[in-house]
Amino acid sequence: MSETRPSRVSACLHERGRPAWAAATTHPMVREIAAGTLPHGTFRRYFEQNVLYLGDYARAIGLIIGKAPDLAAADVLSRFLRQIVGAEIPANLAFLERLGGSPAGDEAADCMLPATYAYTRHLLYISAQGTCAEGLTAVLPCQWSYGELAGPLMASLPADPVYADWISMFGGTGYAGLVEETTGLLDRLGDPHDAVVMQRLSWIFDTSTRYEVQFWDMAYGEEPAG
């Protein structure tokens, strides 16, 4: 009997990359956030790197918008970009301030730790050199995994308001709806039955997902500052 394969590109990528995906969405740091037990110093270090990461993440999405095949695709990608620039970056800066950190601007790009630098170079390269589908595949694991890890946590938010607010940013229906639109766009742009295309997209998706794990490791593994 032949194996039944997912009929959508996004579902196929999710299924093929399941081990790395699980490592990202159930990382020990994520579990401590859910429990409200993560030291604030560790979470502050995460935001110090994430504000730098998100700047280049936004630039990568901007490159992808320029390759949109039609206005409907450009609309989805533009709202994706607006979510990052208009909501997530300001929220990350606010979290950093709540945790006693000093928000860093673009001039602090040389303060990126190796995992942040490698991940953002991957995103910018694929978004600049690849197709619209390839660029979208590169940036999706970040957006999609955060929605997937936060959704179940909404039923029992931690008492610490910093962690509760962070979870709520990704666990709402509005965020889930945007993820549905971006994954739906990838499904429209790609053919899950094209073996050559799927091999390329799988490599891009899995590489981004592995970088998601490395980003959590980076923030979680060092001694908290202060």
Looking from the CA of 122 toward its CB, the CA atoms found within 13 Å total: 24
* Per-position DSSP letters for 105-148, written without gaps between them: -GGGGGG--HHHHHHHHHHHHHHHHS-HHHHHHHHHHHHHHHHH
For 172-183, the pLDDT digits (tens) are: 999 999 999 999
In this predicted structure, the answer to whether residue 139 has a pLDDT above a threshold of 90 is yes
Which one is predicted more confidently, 223 or 24?
Answer: 24
Percent of the chain with pLDDT over 70: 92
Let me know: does 17 contact 206? Beta carbons within 8 Å.
Answer: yes
In this predicted structure, the answer to whether residue 147 has a pLDDT above a threshold of 90 is yes
Mean pLDDT across the stretch 11-34? 94
- CATH of segment(s) 43-221: 1.20.910.10
Which pair of tokens denotes residue 204?
A: 């891009």
Residue 24 has a pLDDT of 94
Residue 225 has a pLDDT of 42
Residue 6 has a pLDDT of 65
In single-letter form, the type of residue at position 80 comes to F
Which pair of tokens denotes residue 23?
A: 């490592």
Of these ranges, 95-109, 147-161, 210-224, the one predicted with the greatest mean pLDDT is: 147-161
Mean pLDDT across the stretch 2-27? 85
- From the number of C-beta atoms within 10 Å of its C-beta (0-12, 13-18, 19+), residue 110 rates as exposed
For 86-121, the pLDDT digits (tens) are: 999 999 999 999 999 876 554 455 689 999 999 999
Closest CA to 205 of 150, 115, 130: 130
Mean pLDDT across the stretch 201-226? 86
How many other C-beta atoms can be found within 10 angstroms of the C-beta atom of residue 155? 7
Indicate the DSSP class of residue 1: -
Which pair of tokens denotes residue 224?
A: 């908290």
At 221, the pLDDT band (50, 70, 90 cuts) reads confident
Let me know: does 179 contact 147? Beta carbons within 8 Å.
Answer: yes
- CA-to-CA distance for 194 and 203, rounded, in angstroms? 14
Average pLDDT for the chain: 92
In this predicted structure, the answer to whether residue 144 has a pLDDT above a threshold of 80 is yes
For 195-208, the pLDDT digits (tens) are: 999 999 999 999 99
Which one is predicted more confidently, 225 or 102?
Answer: 102
Which pair of tokens denotes residue 82?
A: 């607006």
Let me know: does 145 contact 25? Beta carbons within 8 Å.
Answer: yes
Residue 101 has a pLDDT of 85
